[in-house]
Amino acid sequence: MWWSDLFTDMSPASFFNFSFLPKYAAFFNRGIEYTLLLAIVSVALAVLPALMLALMRLSKNKLIKGLSGAYIALFRSTPLLVQLSIIYFGLFGVIRIPRYSLFGFVDLSRFIPGVVALALNSSAYVAEIFRAGILAVDAGQMEAARSLGLSKWSGMKLVVLPQAIKNVLPAIANEIVTMVKESSICSTLGMAELMFGAKNVASSTYITLAPYTLAALIYFCINYPATKAIEAIERRMRRGDKQ
């Protein structure tokens, strides 16, 4: 390509020595796809358990409340890398996933443990998002529902949750952005996401820095516009509420 010449005089340690690109672009393309798949699938899987954890956390029953609290505390107070390693070597050391390849580049024997670990971790955070969202709904809504003869659960399901979920959608979208970044840790266990692609390119080309610069640029170009879009949607939602 015409621009390949631009890099010929650059040192292997240069920030922008992207001369590896013509040959290794696929590593990055695949990496982006893998990263997005990891982030979206893990948050999607986290939503239901998180909702359950949040409802448990708001229960009057001390045991139920405590169980959920313990889970949330455990996953929020230990590093993701540690959780990932324990789940990968511990849980999936026992449960063997066949080496089946999805879309030609997603090795399920690595992808599933990674997604499970990220989803378990994310559910602790999303649970707190849901809890805050439920508590933010005016208590009068539940009282009105109960005064009409609806049970606590019906009031929650029909009246409170629909309002809470609408309010927490931006926060959940932000959780996906967080996961796009956090999932880079999966590279340590050989999951072929974006960071792993960058590492691979760096070690096969001896261009030590630029693959990571490119990875940073890509992460930024995904997350920054996404964050801005979420903020804009949030502003519009708030304006809508005030009417």
Which residues make up the interface to other proteins (CB under 8 A)?
Answer: 138, 140-141, 143-151, 154, 158-159, 162-163, 166, 243
| DSSP at 91 | I
In contact, 150 and 102? CB cutoff 8 Å: no
The residue whose two tokens read 């996401």 is: 193
Please say which residue, 170 or 197, places its beta carbon nearer to other proteins.
170
Please say which residue, 150 or 171, places its beta carbon nearer to other proteins.
150
In contact, 26 and 99? CB cutoff 8 Å: no
CB of 61 to other proteins, least distance (A): 15
Please say which residue, 151 or 204, places its beta carbon nearer to other proteins.
151
CB of 142 to other proteins, least distance (A): 9
The residues, any chain, with a CB within 8 Å of residue 96's CB and separated by 6 or more, are 109
CB of 134 to other proteins, least distance (A): 14
Task: Give the residue from 231, 177, 196, 198 showing the smallest Cα distance to 42.
Answer: 177
Please say which residue, 78 or 151, places its beta carbon nearer to other proteins.
151
Please say which residue, 109 or 163, places its beta carbon nearer to other proteins.
163
CB atoms within 10 A of CB 121: 23
Collapse the DSSP code of 161 into the 3-class scheme (helix H, G, I; strand E, B; otherwise coil) and give the result. helix
**Dihedral pair phi/psi, residue 78, rounded to 5°:** -125, 150
CB of 156 to other proteins, least distance (A): 13
Please say which residue, 96 or 239, places its beta carbon nearer to other proteins.
239
Residue 226 tokens, joined? 């996404």
CB of 149 to other proteins, least distance (A): 4
CB of 144 to other proteins, least distance (A): 4
CB of 157 to other proteins, least distance (A): 9
Please say which residue, 143 or 231, places its beta carbon nearer to other proteins.
143
Q: How far apart are CA 169 and CA 234, in angstroms?
A: 9
| 220 membership: H or E segment, kind and range | helix 210-242
221 to each of 77, 120, 170, 173, 211, how far by Cα in Å? 30, 27, 19, 16, 15
